[in-house]
Amino acid sequence: MTQAALPRAGIPTAADILAPSPGVLLRRRILRHWGLLIGGTILAVIVLMALLAPLIAPHDPYDQDLARKLIPPIWHGGAKVTWAHPLGTDQLGRDYLSRLVYGARISLLIGVSAMLISGVIGTVLGVIAGYFGGRVDMLVSFIVTTRLSMPVVLVALAVVSIVGSSLTVVIWVLGLLIWDRFAVVMRSATQQIRAREFITAAQALGCSTPRILLTEVAPNVLNHLIVVATLEMAHAILLEAALSFLGLGVQPPTPSWGLMVSEAKGLMFFDPWLITIPGIALFALVLAINMLGDGLRDVTAPENRG
């Protein structure tokens, strides 16, 4: 009786000697991946900055004060430097730190929205092509090839100059132009999964095609989707900066990092910080997103590294 009441400490049961679950392994790999952690941290800081912009920004980003124009940032030294404007002011006397903080909102908004639009288009096309194959695949591949033959920046420039530029137009133009990588990656990932026997098993169980796509295919291609999504988000942010720099993206006085570089290009040789500050911000954001994407690829699919 006493023996039966004894806890079976130290005796391994079947559950104890199992390999760790995929979730535990994933968490372990994430915590060991420095690129992923650094990229994730920088991105988290920028996202927080964008979300809390009204609390962080010391001034209204639209407030002009020509009496206080072109104050250099605090590390520059000189008579005009003031803690009221830690990053200085631009040629219209607007606080540069406030514009940078609010600009993060525009960059992230465009990045996320364009990525979502292109992600939906590309994923639907790619999964359908990969799953059904045959004629459907041929048609989708033709659409993808057609899209790839169009230079993104040129088409975006043409459309924006015809339709007129606004934040919404930029988001839609980018979203409708950069779905090709989603389609290509999702197509080949789905083809791989399609050939596995658990898909046949699901068919033999009488699962409907939408159910197979959602519950059997989707969870297995999700890791590829996340990686492409981060890369395309960085791509969209850079394209927005390029369009804004060319004057066809976001319109002034909206604070956008690309527009800030563009507005300062006349003063590049006299007040270089006007270009380097938004430039560094863009660089850090895109680098962080790419590091995150690479890291996610490494930790979710270690066999696909390369």
Partner 1 sequence: MTAAALTAAQVEAAPMLEARDVSRTFRVSTGLLKPKRTLQAVEGVSLLVRPGEVVGLVGESGCGKTTLARMLLGLLPPTDGEIRVVGRPTAALPRRTIAQLVQPVFQDPYSSLNPRKSIGAIITLPLRVQGGSDSATWRAQVEEMMERVGLARSLYDNYPSQLSGGQRQRVAIARALINRPRLVICDEPTSALDVSVQSQILNLLQELRRDLGLTYLLISHNLAVVEHMATRVAVMYLGRIVEEADTDALFRAPKHPYTQALLASVLTPEPGLGVPDTQLGAAYPNPLDVPPGCRFHPRCAHVMDICRTVAPKPVASGEGFVECHLYGTP
Residue with smaller CB distance to partner 1, 154 or 205: 205
Residue 254 · residue 167 · CB < 8 Å: yes
| Integer Cα distance of 179 and 168 in angstroms | 17
Judged by CB under 8 A, the number of residues near partner 1 is 24
* Burial category of 171 from C-beta neighbours within 10 Å (exposed 0-12, middle 13-18, buried 19 and up): buried
Contact segment (CB under 8 A) with partner 1 among 117-125, 126-134, 190-198, 295-303 equals: 190-198
Interface pick for partner 1 out of 37, 124, 139, 207 (rule CB under 8 A): 207
Compute the distance between CA of residue 189 and CA of residue 225 in angstroms, rounded to an integer. Answer: 9
Site for partner 1 in 215-274 (CB under 8 A): 215-216, 219-220
CA distance 306 to 44: 26
Beta carbons of 130 and 194 less than 8 angstroms apart: yes
For residue 41, CA distances in Å to 35, 122, 285, 291, 292 come to 10, 28, 11, 10, 9
75 binds partner 1 (CB under 8 A): no
Question: Which CB sits closer to partner 1, 290 or 300?
Answer: 300
Options 1, 6, 9, 13; binder of partner 1; rule CB under 8 A: 13
Which of these, 75, 241, 67, lies nearest to 170 by C-alpha position? 241
If binding is defined by CB under 8 A, does position 1 make contact with partner 1? no
Of 41 and 203, which CB lies nearer to partner 1 in the complex structure? Answer: 203
Q: Is 11 in the site for partner 1 (CB under 8 A)?
A: no
Q: Which of 12, 77, 78, 206 binds partner 1 (CB under 8 A)?
A: 206
**Toward partner 1, which CB reaches closer, 152 or 202?**
202
Our finding on whether 196 is near partner 1 (CB under 8 A) is yes
- Give CA–CA dist 202/194, Å, rounded: 11
Smallest separation (angstroms) from partner 1 to the CB of 139: 17
The answer to the question of residue 168 lying near partner 1 (CB under 8 A) is: no
Q: Give, for 300, the enclosing helix (H) or strand (E).
A: helix 273-300
- Containing H/E element for 179? none
The least CB distance from residue 135 to partner 1, in Å, is 13
Q: Are 273 and 72 in contact (CB under 8 A)?
A: yes
Per CB under 8 A, does 21 bind partner 1? Answer: yes
Using CB under 8 A, list all residues that contact partner 1: 13-15, 18-22, 196-198, 200-207, 211, 215-216, 219-220
